[in-house]
Amino acid sequence: MLLQIAHDNAHKGPLLAGYYIISVYPAITPMIYSWSAGNTAGETKKKVTTAILYVGQCAGNVLGPNLYTTAEAPLYRRGLLSNLALFCVLIGLTGANAAYLFYLNKQHEKRRVAVGKSAKIVDQSMQAVQAVSDAKEDQPQQAADDNAWKDLTDWQNEDFVYVF
């Protein structure tokens, strides 16, 4: 919209709407951080991936404003085209990442079956707590099979399920 609509007083409303649409983009930042945290296991790996995301975001925040120069005012064509291109790249990377996480989940299912576990994992962590006697009976086997408290990365832990 900002690239195609004439920048004059008659089109202030549509231009403002286009600006508001672009302004929604930063709202995905918390989603990206939570997606990274939810799909990474192992303390060191989680810290490194979060640091890489943070450094990348900071680099973008430093470089991004340089795409908008006063010489190009009021159209800012180079900046808007760069934003549009990066939005398209982001959509492509999001789709590729979701496909990759789906593939990794299938690989983990195969690994679970190979070690005699069920292919699908049902997360019951949010279910109501069972009676104490029931929990004591299941505890030794559950503790033996539970990888949750081991400091394994998501690639090492066959019980890890990626979220996409």
Q: Which domain holds residue 108?
A: 9-121
Which residue stretches of the chain are H helix? 12-23, 29-38, 43-63, 77-114, 132-145
Give the length of the chain: 164
Domain count, the chain: 1
At residue 159, does pLDDT exceed 70?
yes
Long-range contacts formed by 15-24: CB under 8 A, 24+ apart: 22/83
Alpha-carbon span 118 to 115, nearest angstrom: 9
Residue 56 lies in a domain: yes
Residue at 154 is within a domain: no
Q: What pLDDT is stored for residue 144 in this prediction?
A: 47
139 found inside a domain: no
* Rounded distance between C-alpha atoms, residue 88 and residue 107, angstroms: 29
Asked if the model's pLDDT at residue 106 lies above 80, the reply is yes
Q: How confident is the model at residue 67 (pLDDT cuts 50, 70, 90)?
A: very high
Classify residue 85: in a domain, yes or no.
Answer: yes
pLDDT at 80 over 50: yes
